[in-house]
Amino acid sequence: MKLLFAMLFTLLPALAWAHPGHGGVGLFHHLLDLAPAIILVALIAWAGIWVKNRK
Protein backbone atom coordinates (compact mmCIF):
# COMPACT_ATOMS: atom_id res chain seq x y z
CA MET A 1 0.00 0.00 0.00
CA LYS A 2 2.87 2.38 0.83
CA LEU A 3 4.44 1.65 -2.55
CA LEU A 4 1.20 2.59 -4.30
CA PHE A 5 1.05 5.93 -2.50
CA ALA A 6 4.72 6.58 -3.21
CA MET A 7 4.18 5.93 -6.91
CA LEU A 8 1.11 8.18 -7.00
CA PHE A 9 2.94 11.02 -5.24
CA THR A 10 5.75 10.86 -7.79
CA LEU A 11 3.19 11.77 -10.44
CA LEU A 12 1.93 14.88 -8.62
CA PRO A 13 4.62 17.27 -9.94
CA ALA A 14 3.71 16.25 -13.48
CA LEU A 15 0.21 17.65 -12.95
CA ALA A 16 1.43 21.24 -12.55
CA TRP A 17 1.80 23.56 -15.53
CA ALA A 18 5.20 24.93 -16.41
CA HIS A 19 5.80 28.65 -16.03
CA PRO A 20 4.97 30.83 -19.05
CA GLY A 21 7.36 30.77 -21.96
CA HIS A 22 8.02 27.04 -21.91
CA GLY A 23 4.79 25.57 -23.15
CA GLY A 24 5.67 22.45 -21.20
CA VAL A 25 3.75 20.58 -18.55
CA GLY A 26 5.17 19.57 -15.23
CA LEU A 27 7.71 20.80 -12.74
CA PHE A 28 10.39 18.59 -14.25
CA HIS A 29 10.70 20.48 -17.53
CA HIS A 30 14.07 21.66 -16.20
CA LEU A 31 15.29 18.13 -15.56
CA LEU A 32 18.17 18.38 -18.01
CA ASP A 33 19.33 21.55 -16.25
CA LEU A 34 19.23 19.85 -12.85
CA ALA A 35 20.49 16.39 -13.86
CA PRO A 36 24.17 17.03 -12.99
CA ALA A 37 23.24 18.24 -9.49
CA ILE A 38 20.89 15.28 -8.96
CA ILE A 39 23.58 12.83 -10.05
CA LEU A 40 26.13 14.48 -7.75
CA VAL A 41 23.82 14.26 -4.73
CA ALA A 42 23.03 10.61 -5.54
CA LEU A 43 26.75 9.77 -5.80
CA ILE A 44 27.53 11.49 -2.50
CA ALA A 45 24.66 9.62 -0.81
CA TRP A 46 25.81 6.31 -2.30
CA ALA A 47 29.38 6.94 -1.14
CA GLY A 48 28.19 7.78 2.37
CA ILE A 49 26.15 4.60 2.59
CA TRP A 50 29.03 2.56 1.17
CA VAL A 51 31.48 3.95 3.73
CA LYS A 52 29.02 3.39 6.59
CA ASN A 53 28.35 -0.24 5.63
CA ARG A 54 32.02 -0.96 4.96
CA LYS A 55 32.96 -0.83 8.64
Read off the pLDDT of residues 30-54 as tens digits, 9 standing for 90 and up.
Answer: 667 778 888 999 999 999 999 999 8
pTM value surpassing 0.85: no
| Contact (Cβ atoms closer than 8 angstroms) between residue 26 and residue 13 | yes
Per-residue pLDDT at 55: 72
